[in-house]
Amino acid sequence: MEVIIKQVEGLTFVAKGDSNHWVAIDGPTEFFGSEAGTRPMELLLIALGSCTASDVAAILQKKRAKLEKFEVRIQGDREDVHPKVFTKIHINYVFTGKELKEEDVKRAIELSQEKYCPISTMLKKTVHLTYSYEII
């Protein structure tokens, strides 16, 4: 896997990987950014959330779960001093659907967190990572 990051101006960058899709990245104005893209630490949480969400959705689809809506909400706590790493990350999975089986939801999340999502596995080595779920 390979990615390329190109500077546009100041702290504004564009990046793409093997999928050939560009992503805009930027920083806050107080650090000479122009607020023209997602910040790198936000991208890390987005990567984590989309990794585990993809796993969970695929597993539930195989189980023929009737999902009407599915969201993953992530809260990350960071150090106050540089390099301001994440110290805690909490993932909340929110499912909406008829006849969703709690045991299927729970097992899908466990499989993602324990076996399939490489981003979760990497982050757990340095960050306190927790999760919860809601079925509506």
Residues 27-51 have pLDDT tens digits of 999 988 999 999 999 999 999 999 9
pLDDT of res. 89: 98
pLDDT of res. 31: 87
Tokens representing residue 92 in the block: 């909340």
The answer to whether residue 58 scores a pLDDT higher than 90 is yes
- 119 phi and psi angles, rounded to 5 deg: -70, -45
58-81 b/e (C-beta count within 10 Å ≥ 16 → b): ebbeeeebeeeebebebebeeeee
Q: What is the pLDDT of residues 81-136, one digit of tens each?
A: 999 999 999 999 999 998 899 999 999 999 999 999 999 999 999 999 999 999 99
According to DSSP, the residues that pair with 75 across neighbouring strands are: 90
Helices (H) and strands (E) in the chain, counts: 3, 6
Pinpoint the alpha helices (H) of 63-113.
102-111
pLDDT of res. 98: 87
CB 72 within 8 A of CB 45: no
Secondary-structure percent of the chain, ordered helix, strand, coil, rounded to 5: 35, 35, 30
pTM of the model: 0.93
Q: If one looks up domain 40-135 in CATH, what number appears?
A: 3.30.300.20
CB 91 within 8 A of CB 129: yes
pLDDT of res. 28: 93
Q: Exposed, middle or buried, 29 (CB in 10 Å: 0-12/13-18/19+)?
A: exposed
